[in-house]
Amino acid sequence: MCGRYVVTKPVTKTADLVKTTIKVEDIDNYNAHPTQKLPIIKSYTNGKTLENCDWGLVPSWATDKKDFRPLINARLETLMEKVSFKNLIQTSRCLAVADGYYEWKRENKEKTPYYFTRSDNSLIFFAAIHQNNQFCIITREATDKIKEIHHREPLILNEEQISNYLNIKKEGTDILKSIKPPELKFRIVGKNVNKPINNDSSLIKSTA
């Protein structure tokens, strides 16, 4: 799954991609976590926007929304099977912007955090879906290289694939299944990332 990530200077880094920025500040977030308002890219008839939405989606069918635990990830393999996601992948696609993300490797009772980035250090675009100013990141089965850390990884698009994915006239799941995972690199980082209150650049420094 994808449960924490890093996003720095989102306004600056997406300036050439979006037409409008809505209530997004050009700040650094080294411990982006569920329930936070985070920058995502949406597409409208007059162009793409960068706007803040809550990470974690509460489905429209949830009767007790107050106590419902928001859904932060959706599996690519079951998008068209789940009531929560089937309509959204057809009508409400978006992208979460990131520099990198964290994942934890479990060994016995120990969980070791790792930080992942693209091998070329370029900006990451997580495929996602949205509803009612909330979003959920789509994940896929991890590649062999990543599986040694975790069995899932976020579905990452290249910049040139963004417009195609956001075009709701095209079949979303077919597009995502055709996307080859990018080359990622990773390193062990400190356990301070485990606490959402910690948020500075030291979190992504290698401890190995």
Domains and CATH numbers, the chain: 4-204 (3.90.1680.10)
Q: Percentages helix, strand, coil for the chain, rounded to the nearest 5?
A: 20, 40, 40
C-alpha angle 168/173/176, rounded to 5°?
100
pLDDT number for residue 197? 95
Spatial separation of the C-alpha atoms in residues 40 and 197, rounded to whole Å: 22
Q: What's the whole-number mean pLDDT along residues 148-165?
A: 95
Residue 129 has pLDDT above 90, yes or no: yes
pLDDT number for residue 77? 95
Is the pTM value of this prediction over 0.75?
A: yes
